Amino acid sequence: MAEERTRSRLPRKEIKAFVRFLLLAAILPAAFLVAMLFTAGWKIATIGPPSNLSMSQQNNPKIVLAPPGGTPQYAAYKLARIKDLQPEIIYVGQSRCSQVRSAMFRPYSFYNACLTAWTLDQVREFIEHAVTISKPSMVIFELDYFMFTKEYKATWTARAKMDFEPDTFVNGINATLTLAEEHPLNLLASLGVFPNQVTEPHTGFELSLPDAIRSRAGFRYDGSFLYPFKYRANGAKQLEDAARQFIASVHGGSGLDPGQVEALSRLAATASKAGVKLVGIQLPIYAPVVAYLDTDPAYHPYAGVWRAFQSDETRQMLARLGITFFDMVRLPENGEARNFVDPSHPSEIGALHGLLAMSSDPRFKSTFPLIDPERLRSEYEDATKSGRIFDVYADRF
Amino acid sequence: MLIASPLYCALIIPFSLLIYLLAPGRPRMLAVFAASWAFYLTFPRSFSLALLYVSVTTYLGALVLARRADDGNKLWFLAGAIALTGLPLLLAKYIGPLLHVFTSHMSANWDLTSDQLVFPVGLSFYTFGAIGYLIDVFLGVVAAEQSLVTVALFCCFFPIVTSGPIPRASNLLPQLRFKRAFDARRATRAVTEILLGVGLKFGISEILARPAGAVYSDVAICGPLELFLATVFFGYQLYADFAGYSLVAIGSARLLGVDLPPNFRYPFLAASVPDFWRGWHISLFSWLRDYFFTPLRLELRAYPKLGTYFATFVTLVFVGIWHGAGWGFVAFGAVHGVLMVLSQSTQEIRNRLWLGLGVPLRYLWLVRIPITFIIITFTLVLLRSKDVSEAGGIYLKLLSFDLVKDLLGQLPYSPFSPAGLDHLNLGGNLVVVAALVIVIIGDVIEKNSKRLVIEWPYLPRAALLSACTLALFVQVLSAAGPKPFAYFQF
């Protein structure tokens, strides 16, 4: 065979030709594409530290965004917001408190850091970070009965890891690519080729970054979450078969897990050490679910944690730990569909209703002396009259 | 390590250059042999037992067959050697699932999911290669190789061990001497093939997998048009995935100085079902043609037509079973067998009919390509569905008038309302449509121009290859990592 030469060395001329091909046909053009992608990502702020995201929102409160990389990246972004806003009150927790708005707490400055911390240890970790960059006088945290099961802790520790130092380069490149793939026109718009930003048609918020543009949802200036319109429009449909939905999404247990009680003690110690007042709130749960937890005989063994959490012993323990606790799960209006997005998530008006109900508690005045309950009442009535469920405060922060 | 993974692509070029620094012949062969085993050991170690077993039985079997006088018993020796070599494949792929059926309950479904099977990567590919070698030695097509390392390398040659193409001894064994000198043109072509393969896998297949997966995970509520389009996406996903891997394998082998025949030739531009099989997984189909179909047809030569049809049908059923243990796979093979026989047996009549209608045969591809495509797409439902009953449900939808209504509904001024295509989310995934168009146009260009990408003008070639490099770069960044090769399970 003519081709079967038997030289063992690499002929320089052949190698040169090969390397020239690699460079000209593949590597250099690809490097050019990567550079373009990087520039685009940097320009639309998908690449870069979370402080860039916070600053874009600080400069334009109408921006709604979702940090690239999903849930694990939310904590770093929300901490950047806290650093920029320096709020007096921070609300930390999971998705149940995402509809609490800063305007509800006026005249206090407030930031909603929900959708970051699911377990009690995660709440503590978040507070530890928050107090190093800001000086809040109070931290409110979502304190739900189901947080006191081992299974919940195990599930959400794995699922909702908080990445306090995210790899913003990798996340950003991926987010830019997603945008280029799924919304190339939006990418061009963000680069200034077309009029900038994408407006959410029902609320007028400006959606920024791929996740927000794709899902038409994200975090507002005050940290509260703008649900996608499609989801909001479903309304009562999402409340069908409420109890089954609810118990499928949270764990039951025979009683309070001692490990979680310890985690709560550690959380209280952290707050106390930082000189921060700690307030726990259990926001409303849809009434048929509460009835189910109270009375269903088949679920009775798993509702032990639900009953134990409401016991006097638990309330005394919370008081001993210095936690002011407000329980909103048995409000008379918790059967109203408008107060819920789904059985476990209060809507914006539902959260306002919870806060209004709290204001009738004698401890409310001493905890939030500057909040005017009459103002809350009138805002609630206005919203009820006008049928606003999600946009009670719209773009008022 | 997955072939086509970013790490593999980063290593293959420097590794091949290092090989050329060694003296041709045995030193290079030993280096490639060591690399092949190192590559295979990146998969669970237990898998290597099957590879070792197949290598040794193939080597010994071939030696015994070569030394055996051609008496009446030699065929039995061949049968024994094939049975021994094929034992791991038989156990892992068929006996295991069958035992599962009988040990669980008799009415159990034979359709197992891939996670229920522990199946050494590439077992089908290297076992078929080994069996082919044994038959070739038996027939005297190739001489029995005296070196165990050479036979073992034939079985474990890293570019093809996990995903084919299925090697043929007459082609591969002589090239495993590694005597070629480095040639820039050959290397350039090899890298082009690797990059195109990577582009097909990461740039096309994984994109098309999204809408197909979204629809097939929610079959019950999807309409017929959505199901049909999802199956089209699935077909192209499978094609891009497998053809992509094959190209990476062929390119990798070429970098080392080994030429392998192509494994795909624009199958979705086929003008008939037999034409489809001449372009799809060519190494499997040609293997079955030479080692299964031809001997069977010879056995049945007393019945020229019926024997050919029977052999064709059985071969296609075999193709289905090769894909996996499950009634869906059997049905897939059987349906293709029937289609193939129908196509062969009616071709003359159909041609005469068209001519009688005044339609010149050279224009028939205009009708035949789309019809063949639709038929092939329909059969792919059997491969993509969870089980036969789900496939049955999908066929009921696809064969109802609703599909026509859905199609007409897409037209302007149609009396039918447009079908919802929410699961496909084509509007939000322009890149999916673009991916499909790129593959179709790429195939059409290549089929008609007969020019390899390496022969294209600089600009379109650089644009295409850099896009493929970018797809690889995206995989480096992707937290999820590349999805495994769909054909691993086969």
Do B469 and A29 make contact, defined as CB atoms within 8 angstroms? Answer: yes
- Largest alpha-carbon pair distance within chain A? 98
pLDDT the model gives residue A207? 86
Is residue B79's pLDDT more than 90? yes
Q: With bands split at pLDDT 50, 70 and 90, how would you rate the model's confidence at B114?
A: very low
| B165, pLDDT greater than 50 | yes
Confidence (pLDDT) at A300: 94
For A145-195, the pLDDT digits (tens) are 999 999 999 999 988 888 898 877 777 777 787 777 767 776 776 676 655
Check if the beta carbon of residue A235 is closer than 8 Å to that of residue A241.
no
| Smallest CA–CA distance from A34 into chain B, residue | B470
Predicted pLDDT at B175: 95
Q: Do residues A133 and A82 lie in contact, with contact meaning Cβ atoms separated by under 8 Å?
A: yes
> Which residues in chain B touch residue A21, judged by CB atoms under 8 angstroms apart?
184, 188, 191
Chain A positions contacting chain B at CB under 8 Å are 3-11, 13-18, 21-22, 24-30, 32-34, 170, 173-174, 177, 180-184, 214
Average pLDDT over every residue of A258-284:
97
> Is B180 or A34 the better-scoring residue by pLDDT?
B180
More confident residue, B430 or A325: A325
DSSP A219: E
pLDDT at residue B272, as a whole number:
94
Give the pLDDT band (50/70/90) at residue B432: confident
Q: Which residues pair with A226 in a beta bridge?
A: A218
* B308 compared with A159, residue with greater pLDDT: B308
Higher-pLDDT residue of B72, A260: A260
Q: What is the mean pLDDT of residues A220-245?
A: 84
CB contact under 8 A, A174 and B477: yes
What's the confidence (pLDDT) of residue B467?
Answer: 83
Mean pLDDT, chain A, whole residue set: 89
Q: What is the pLDDT of residue A193?
A: 64
For testing contact with chain A, the best of B192, B422, B431 (most A CBs within 10 A)? B431
Supply the pLDDT for residue B90: 87
The minimal CB distance from B21 to the residues A4, A8, A173 is found for A8
Model confidence band, residue A257 (pLDDT cutoffs 50, 70, 90):
very high
- How many inter-chain contacts (A to B, CB under 8 Å) are there? 104
Rounded Cα gap, residues B205 and B297, in angstroms = 37
Q: Stretch A282-302: mean pLDDT, rounded? A: 95
Is the CB of B171 inside 8 Å of chain A's CB atoms?
Answer: no
pLDDT for residue B211 is more than 80: yes
pLDDT number for residue A291 = 95
B21 and A184 within 8 Å at the Cβ level: the answer is no
Q: How confident is the model at residue B473 (pLDDT cuts 50, 70, 90)?
A: confident
Of A27, A173, A177, the CB nearest to B469: A27
A9: closest CA of chain B, how far (Å): 5
Q: Verify whether the Cβ–Cβ distance A24 to B21 is below 8 Å.
A: no
CB contact under 8 A, B207 and A181: yes
Residue A244 has pLDDT above 90, yes or no: no
Of the candidate ranges A57-71, A295-309, B156-170, the one whose mean pLDDT is the lowest: A57-71
Of the candidates A390, A10, A51, the one whose C-alpha atom is nearest the C-alpha of residue A226 is A390
Residue A362 has, within 13 A of its CA and on its CB side, a CA count of 0
* Contact indicator for A371, A359 with CB cutoff of 8 Å: yes
pLDDT of residue A314: 97
Two tokens at B432?
């999916």
B18 vs A: CB within 8 A: no
Q: Hey, are the CB atoms on A8 and B182 less than 8 Å from each other?
A: no
Q: Residues of B with CB below 8 A from A28's CB?
A: 466
| Range B185-209 average pLDDT | 90
Q: For the full predicted model, state whether its pTM sits above 0.80.
A: no
**Which of A14, A27, A29 is nearest residue B182 as measured by Cβ atoms?**
A14
Does the structure show a pLDDT above 80 at B425? no
Q: Is-contact A197 A189, C-beta < 8 A? A: yes
| Closest chain B CA to residue A186 | B428
The encoded tokens of residue B301 equal 């030569």
- The residue of chain B with its CA nearest to that of A214 is B428
The verdict on B469 touching A (C-beta cutoff 8 Å) is yes
| Alpha carbon distance A22, A16 (integer Å) | 10
| pLDDT more than 90, % of chain A | 60
Q: Are B195 and B345 in contact (CB under 8 A)?
A: no
Give the gap in angstroms from C-alpha B412 to the nearest C-alpha of chain A. 25
**A366-370, B147-151, B190-194, B437-441: segment of lowest average pLDDT:** B437-441
- Please tell me the predicted confidence (pLDDT) of residue B428: 57
Q: What is the pLDDT of residue A4?
A: 47
Test B473 with A15 for CB contact under 8 angstroms.
Answer: no
Q: By the CB < 8 Å criterion, does B299 face chain A?
A: no
Contact between chains at A9 and B21 (C-beta distance less than 8 A): yes
> Would the pLDDT of B418 be above 70?
no
**CA–CA min distance A18, chain B (Å):** 5
> Sorting pLDDT into bands at 50, 70 and 90, what band is B431?
confident
Q: Across the interface, do B184 and A21 touch by the CB < 8 Å criterion?
A: yes
Span B68-87, mean pLDDT?
A: 90
Q: Predicted confidence band at A216 (pLDDT cuts at 50, 70, 90)?
A: confident
Question: Regarding predicted confidence, which is higher, B397 or B462?
Answer: B397
Six-digit token string for B263: 């494994």
Any idea which of B14-23, B93-102, B282-291 has the lowest mean pLDDT? B93-102
Interchain proximity A181–B469, CB inside 8 Å: no
Complex prediction ipTM:
0.73
Q: What is the mean pLDDT of the segment spanning A211-240?
A: 84
Chain A environment of B185 (Cβ under 8 Å): 17
State pLDDT tens for residues A349-359: 999 999 999 99
- Give yes or no for B480 touching A (CB within 8 A): no
d(C-alpha B463, C-alpha A29), whole Å: 7
Residues of B in contact with A29 (CB under 8 A): 462-463, 465-466, 469
Task: Count Cβ neighbours within 10 Å for each residue of A248-266 and write b for 16 or more, e otherwise.
Answer: eebbbbeebbeebeebbee
How many residues comprise chain B? Answer: 490
Token readout for B457 is 């003008």
Handedness of CA A114, A116, A117, A118 (dihedral sign): positive
- Mean residue pLDDT across chain B: 87
Q: Chain A: give the shortest CA distance to residue B77, in Å.
A: 35
Average the pLDDT over each of A1-10, A104-113, B47-56 and give the range with the smallest value: A1-10
Does B22 reach chain A within 8 Å, measured CB to CB?
A: yes
> A313 pLDDT exceeds 90?
yes
> At a CB cut-off of 8 Å and minimum separation 6, what does B488 contact?
B119, B121, B122, B162, B163
Over the stretch B363-396, which tens digit does the pLDDT of each residue have? 888 899 999 999 999 999 998 988 888 999 999 9
| pLDDT at residue B108 is higher than 50 | no
Rounded to the nearest angstrom, the minimum Cα separation between A240 and chain B is 19
Question: B154 to chain A nearest CA, in Å?
Answer: 20
Instruction: Report the pLDDT value the prediction gives residue B118, as an integer from 0 to 100.
Output: 62
Band of residue A252 on the pLDDT scale cut at 50, 70, 90: very high
Sign of the Cα torsion B348, B349, B350, B351 reads positive
Mutant choice from B188, B195, B426 vs A, greatest count of A C-beta within 10 A = B188
CB contact under 8 A, A29 and B465: yes
- Say what the pLDDT of residue A160 is: 85
